[in-house]
Amino acid sequence: MTTVFEKIISGEIPSARVYEDEWVVAFMDAGQVNPGHVLVATRQPYETLMDADEASAAAMMRAARRIALAVEKAFRPEGITILQANRPAGWQTVPHLHLHVLPRYANDGVDLTWPRKEPGMETLREYAARIEL
């Protein structure tokens, strides 16, 4: 299935592009949360960060940094949120690897909350031991 981002990247759907290189294409989010909200998508149609190769993942973050600096200069937000979500349970709405460069302002209506759990150091060490790199 071809995603809306693949259609944007191929030029089939018009977009307001901000940046592109051999790895990524960045364009204005059609659903601007705040002015300057940019999406950075991989050229390759990876579904999630875990599916991507390291070069594409690294290029996406390099582009996000560069775009965040430019957004900061252009829009003077009070902060910037870089958000990358994977799979529907992780808040991903388009099954194509991308991240958001989102200018933020106090009381802008954007909310990102979760219940904080503090399992203790012994449990944290058990969790850490399960992660094999």
Residues with active-site annotation? 98
Distance CA 28, CA 36 (A): 7
Residue located via tokens 């599916």:
51
Distance CA 120, CA 129 (A): 15
- Cα dihedral across residues 3, 8, 12, 13: positive or negative: positive
3-state SS track over 48-87: CHHHCCHHHHHHHHHHHHHHHHHHHHHHCCCEEEEECCCC
